[in-house]
Amino acid sequence: MKNQALSHCFIILAAAAMVMISHSAARVFKVGDDFGWQEPTNNSQLYTQWATTNRFQVGDSLLFEYKNDDSVAQVDKWGYYHCNTSTATAVFDNGRSSFKLEQPGPFYFISGNFNHCNNGQLLVVEVMSMHHPHHPSISPQPAYAYPPEPEGPSSSASSSMVPSSSESHQPNSAVLVSVIVSSVTVVLIATFVALFSCAP
């Protein structure tokens, strides 16, 4: 009987540890670090550089903080290269928006303001699955990024991305929030349950 009780305790503690590991792996990245989400003034490659310094996995979230006269739109590849929001899958304009990365692959974001987007306020992140062993290889945009052939509807709002300056701003390291209050609560409850059920 004592061995069976110890087995149950071990299973409960192992499950609690697995919950904690899976939840603490999810991170929140503040887009642009301290610069936030705004039109770059001296570096049209700011968000490309920011994305290449971070590793995004399924379950992570992007936090966009911006002024109320701006917005962020999730678009497809064509919308990204053409600064076109007409087929956006999501548009946020409340000044502080969070987007959960729920699947592997590329995610494209642009400012809802065409001029801001055209001046470099656009972001592509490559999301890896939870067990991907190495850093993604997102190559920075060339000085003149020529848009691919349209995958979606055609638009008269297409243009090339042209950098405004050759200066480089290195963003701070990503702001990570690695402990989620709910996961800590679940782990604490599971630990107390295990301790009380294992008591003699």
CATH of the domain at 122: 2.60.40.420
- If asked whether residues 198 and 127 sit together in one domain, one would say no
- If asked whether residues 155 and 167 sit together in one domain, one would say yes
pLDDT at position 41: 87
The pLDDT tens digits of the residues spanning 172-185 come to 333 333 334 455 56
- If asked whether residues 194 and 130 sit together in one domain, one would say no
- If asked whether residues 16 and 74 sit together in one domain, one would say no
- If asked whether residues 36 and 21 sit together in one domain, one would say no
Percentage, residues of the chain above pLDDT 70: 52
Residue span of the structural domain in which 57 resides: 27-177
Task: Kindly report whether the global pTM for this prediction surpasses the value 0.75.
Answer: no
- If asked whether residues 173 and 189 sit together in one domain, one would say no
Q: In this predicted structure, which of 3-17, 57-71, 135-149, 184-198 has the lowest mean pLDDT?
A: 135-149
pLDDT at position 172: 34
- If asked whether residues 78 and 50 sit together in one domain, one would say yes
pLDDT at position 44: 87
Token code pair at residue 173: 């390291």
- If asked whether residues 129 and 189 sit together in one domain, one would say no
- If asked whether residues 7 and 94 sit together in one domain, one would say no
Residues 175 and 33 sit within 8 Å (Cβ to Cβ)? yes
CA gap 10, 194 in Å, rounded? 8
CA gap 56, 99 in Å, rounded? 12
- If asked whether residues 75 and 172 sit together in one domain, one would say yes
**Is the confidence at residue 137, as pLDDT, over 60?**
no
As for how many domains the chain has, the answer is 2
**Three-state secondary structure of the chain:** CHHHHHHHHHHHHHHHHHHHHHHHCCCEEECCHHHCCCCCCCCCCHHHHHHHCCCEECCCEEEEECCCCCCEEEECHHHHHHCCCCCCCEEECCCEEEEECCCCEEEEEEECCHHHHHCCCEEEEEEECCCCCCCCCCCCCCCCECCCCCCCCCCCCCCCECCCCCCCCCCCCCCCCCCCHHHHHHHHHHHHHHHHHHCC
- If asked whether residues 128 and 168 sit together in one domain, one would say yes
- If asked whether residues 112 and 147 sit together in one domain, one would say yes
